[in-house]
Amino acid sequence: MQILCEENITEQLFSLYNQLLAQHGHRKWWPADTPFEVALGAILTQATSWRNVEKAMENLKSAGAFTPEEIASISQATLERLIRPSRYFRMKAQKVRAFVEYIAERPMHVMFKQDVPELREELLSIYGVGPETADTIILYAAGKPSFVVDSYTYRLFSRLGWVTGNYNYEKLRALFMDNLPHDVDLFNEYHALIVGHGARICHKKTPNCQECRLRESCAYYEASE
Ligand code: SF4
């Protein structure tokens, strides 16, 4: 993946942020009440929509299996059944189990005392925690500045003409980490706005460009006119 916007990147990133904020308003993310709930949601949302995650979370809540201790006390078959709506439920049940077992030995609040690089490395060492999940936990559960990127970010930035080539998580994340102040509230809102924009307007198949405030500076829109 190549980054194409090489000049005044900080200015461009802030300009994009302000346009997204003007379009969508504050998004108030991540939808969770506890750090563990953030981590659970981050694992369950891998390769599926948030709507499916909500159904799985609801099943866990209704079954009284929503805390690490409660999840640890149920069988793997029950866990699989409860999180089935989140897709890839067998693999995800293993990931949730691995995370629960890990934090039983080393609680999240202890892990969270570390700085971002060390915390990220530790989270990445846990089975089932990839970069996007780790950064989500760091940003939304630990409240530390680690930018989260995802397929929505890649789609938006490709269409704007800011990046080209295959998706590369670390390179795309570095675009934000290297050019924005490490501010938790900014990172929190920015990621949420990008996801909101992808879900509401810049759809995968048919983006709703007529409704989009970014169209005057969008390569995709320009090429489609
Ligand atoms: S103009 Fe269209 S393609 Fe470009 S960012 Fe907006 S919705 Fe996406």
Per-residue pLDDT tens digits for 147-197: 999 999 999 999 999 999 999 999 999 999 999 999 999 999 999 999 999
**CA gap 14, 18 in Å, rounded:** 6
Tens digits of per-residue pLDDT, 1-57?
Answer: 898 877 899 999 999 999 999 999 998 788 889 999 999 999 999 999 889 999 999
Please report, for the chain, the start and end positions of each structural domain, with discontinuous segments joined by +. 2-28+148-224, 38-141
Closest among 11, 16, 43 to 190, alpha carbons compared: 16
Residue 165 neighbours by CB distance under 10 Å:
11
- The reply to whether 38-141 shares the fold of 2-28+148-224 is no
Q: Whose CA is nearest to atom 8 of ligand 1?
A: 202
Pocket test for ligand 1, best of 156, 214, 225 (most atoms within 8 A of CB): 214
Whether the link from the prior residue into 30 is cis, omega within 30° of 0, is yes
**For domain 2-28+148-224, which CATH number applies: 1.10.3720.10, 1.10.1670.10, 3.90.1300.10, 1.10.10.10?**
1.10.1670.10
As a CATH number, domain 38-141 is 1.10.340.30
